[in-house]
Homo-oligomer: A and B are copies of this chain.
Amino acid sequence: METAVGLLRRFGLGDLSMRRLARELEVQVGALYWHVKNKQELLVEVAAAILGAPALAAGPDGPERSAGGSPSDGSGDRLDARGRILHLAATLHTTLLPVPDSPEVVNVARVLAPGRLEPLTRLTELLETAGLDRAGAVSAQAMIVNHVLGSVAEAQNRADFDVPGSDAPDFRWALERALDGLLHP
């Protein structure tokens, strides 16, 4: 896993092949298939490892109580949840940004093993504590995660060969505006 994650971090998904990984480990390709059913399973593990970053660890148990002076409008409970949602989404963004092709990898894991990605399930829970019912939370979570992954992919591709022009979408602005609508009062 260390070697696999390192390969992804340094060279991207194109160089995270079973054969390359085996070479790096000084082992025959076939050996990998004793530890892992197939490549997809490896990628699920890699995604879980990336989303296991300390910055994404769950906070202290129970609903966190912040004492900062928060802006106006709405109940304190609501705003608190909104702030934590915003923070989680932003942390996801900055965690994935430096890992090439991380959106593809996370997407594989999201499909094959949702539930293995704790921060994403936590996001759904936060949306529920913000007042959404189960169905709403699931729908909003999907939209937010799509936004995070899509924005990271866009930024990474832009860095590869696009104009570094200033007409890049504003991740945070769109996220905040969408949250306004999703957490309707």
Contact = CB atoms under 8 A, between A and B. Distances in A.
Contacts of A170: 135, 138-139
Nearest to A114: B162
Interface string A11-29: 0000000000000000000
A82 B170 CA distance: 21
Interface residues of A, number: 37
A111 B154 contact: yes
B184 A143 contact: no
**Interface SS majority for chain A:** helix
Contacts of A135: 167, 170, 173
B182 A177 contact: yes
A171 B136 CA distance: 10
A129 interface: no
B107 A174 contact: no
Contact of A147 (B138, B143, B175): B143
Given A177-B182, A180-B181, A141 B153 contact: no
Given A177-B181, A178-B182, 13 more contacts: A107-B153, A135-B173, A139-B169, A139-B170, A140-B177, A142-B151, A142-B154, A143-B169, A146-B146, A174-B182, A178-B178, A179-B181, A181-B181
